[in-house]
Amino acid sequence: MDGGVPWAGRASEAVVTLDWQRYAEQMALLARDLLAQDSVQATLDEIAASAVKLVEGCDAAGVLTVSKGRAVTLSVCGDMVEESDRLQGELGEGPCFDAARRVDGERLFRIADMTEPQPSWPRFSRAARDLGIGSMTGVLLYTAEEDFGALNLYSRRPGAFGKDIEAAGWLLASHAAVALATARTVDQLEHALETRHAVGEAMGILMERHRLSEDEAFDVLRRISQHHNIKLRDVARHVRADHPEQA
């Protein structure tokens, strides 16, 4: 991304023609595979693994987000990813770091040849060459409601990612973002149901032991939560743990 331009090192790009019919079939299978995962983390791991499996020339992939100015690795597939993420967070520069924290403008980057100078990230590019990274591309994972970070693809070979591969990565990231949003919603709903169940059991214990009404029992839990700055769910779990015979 030389001088803010999302593509860098154009002279050494590879010309790769995808079999789009086959890739479309793979995307359909991927969509089903992602929705079949049983957690947000499993979905993230499948996204990274699928990028390596499906995108031509991709030797490693990962999902990176930036939280409170710090780089956080959410998922990796390949040994160079974690070290690359660590370096970008440590140096405070790098294409994945920039893509993950971007909230508007260009949502994709491509470095065609990491062996060429990269003025936007001089320290990271030197370290990346030492890691054996030849080229990189990445795209933001987002929906209309939220951003999840960046899906980043790595190749040991310079010029591995041309425009066709860039489009393939974009399609994969679009499927991935929708699956992540769904997984997070399901996770939140399951979490809410677990909380409701725990609170209901804790209220029952308080009502029986202290002869409280339903409203009074809930008020006790709420006041403890507020006074000690503890989540209501955790207060309920403490009550249940103290009276396991009634839980």
- Judge if 179 and 194 occupy the same domain: no
Do 116 and 143 sit in the same domain of this protein? yes
Written as tens digits, the pLDDT of the chain (247 aa) is 333 334 344 434 444 456 777 777 877 888 788 888 878 888 889 889 988 988 888 999 999 887 777 788 888 999 899 999 999 989 988 888 887 776 565 677 888 899 898 898 999 999 999 999 999 998 888 766 667 778 899 999 998 887 777 777 777 877 777 777 777 766 666 666 777 888 888 888 989 888 889 888 888 888 898 888 888 888 888 888 876 655 4
Give residue 222's domain range. 189-242
* pTM (global) more than 0.85: no
Here the CATH number for the domain that contains residue 235 is 1.10.10.10
Report yes or no on 247 lying in a domain: no
Pairing of strands 60-67, 70-77: antiparallel
Q: Which residues contact 140 (CB under 8 A, 6 or more apart)?
A: 99, 100, 102, 107, 108, 147, 149, 150, 151, 173
Residue whose token pair is 């997984």: 183
- Same domain for 16 and 122, yes or no, is yes
In this structure, the answer to whether residues 115 and 156 fall within a common structural domain is yes
> Are 178 and 198 contained in the same domain?
no
CATH of the domain at 26: 3.30.450.40
Does any domain span residue 7?
yes
Domain count for the chain: 2
Query: Are both 130 and 22 inside the same structural domain?
Result: yes
